Amino acid sequence: MSLDWIYYAISWILLTWHSAWDAIGVPVGAVIGTNWAWILAIIFLVVTVRVILFPVFVKQIKSQRAMQALQPKVKELQEKHKGDRETLQKEMMELYRKEKANPLMGCLPMFLQIPVFLGLFHTLKRLNPENGGKTLYGWTVDQFNSASSAKLFTAPISGRFGSTAADLAPLGANTGTVKVIAGVLVLIMIATTYLTSRQMILKTGWAEDPQQRMVQRLMLYGIPVSLLVSGSIFPIGVIIYWVTNNLFTLGQQQWVLRKFPPLVPPKKAATTGGKNPVQPAKTGLLGRKTAQPAAKAPAAAPKVAGPKPGAKPVNPKKAGNRPAKRQG
Predicted confidence (pLDDT) per residue in 297-313, tens digit? 555 555 555 555 555 55
Asked if residue 15 belongs to a domain, the reply is yes
Whether residue 268 lies inside any domain: the answer is no
H runs (alpha helix) in the chain:
4-24, 36-69, 71-80, 85-99, 108-125, 141-148, 165-168, 175-204, 210-217, 223-230, 236-259, 316-321
At residue 14, what are phi and psi to the nearest 5 degrees? Answer: -60, -50
Greater confidence (286 vs 73) lies with 73
Looking at the structure, tell me whether residues 231 and 137 fall in a common domain.
no
- Stated as kind and residue range, the H or E segment containing 283 is strand 282-283
Tell whether 50 and 171 lie within a shared domain.
no
Domain assignment of residue 121, yes or no: yes
In degrees to the nearest 10, what's the CA dihedral of 242, 12, 121, 44?
-10
Measured distance CA(42)–CA(19) in Å, rounded:
12
Residue 305 lies in a domain: no
CB 234 within 8 A of CB 121: yes
Residue 301 lies in a domain: no
C-beta separation of 230 from 190 below 8 A: no
Same domain, yes or no: 6 and 148: yes
CA 317 to chain centre: 88
Q: Give the domain extent around 254.
A: 158-261
15, 42 Cβ separation under 8 angstroms: no
- Domain ends where: 233, 261, 289? 261
Confidence class for position 106, pLDDT limits 50, 70, 90: low
Name the helix (H) or strand (E) containing 310.
Answer: none
Instruction: Give yes or no for residue 31 having a pLDDT over 70.
Output: yes
For residue 81, tell me if it sits in a domain: no
Q: Look at residue 244 in the predicted model and tell me its pLDDT.
A: 96
The average pLDDT across 130-143 equals 91
Contact 173, 156 (CB under 8 A): yes
Taking only the tens place, the pLDDT of each residue in 141-163 is 999 999 999 999 999 999 999 99
Count how many domains the chain has: 2
Element of type H or E holding 220: none
Mean pLDDT of the chain: 79
Residues 215 and 145 occupy one common structural domain: no
Q: Is the whole-model pTM more than 0.75?
A: no
Q: Reduced to 3 states, what is the DSSP secondary structure of residue 12?
A: helix
Q: Is the pLDDT of residue 63 over 90?
A: no
Domain boundary among 231, 261, 291: 261
Mean pLDDT of 80-89: 82
> What pLDDT shows up at residue 113?
87
Using CA atoms, how far apart are residues 11 and 252, in angstroms rounded to an integer? 25
- Give the tens place of pLDDT for each residue, 249-300: 899 888 877 877 766 554 444 444 444 444 444 444 344 444 454 555 555 5
For 168, other C-beta atoms within 10 Å of its C-beta total 19
In a shared domain, residues 127 and 25: yes
pLDDT at residue 274, rounded to an integer: 43
Give helix 236-259 / helix 175-204 axis angle, nearest 10°: 20
Q: Is 155 helix (H, G, I), strand (E, B) or coil?
A: strand
Mean pLDDT confidence for 182-193: 95
Poorest-pLDDT segment among 35-44, 167-176, 290-299: 290-299
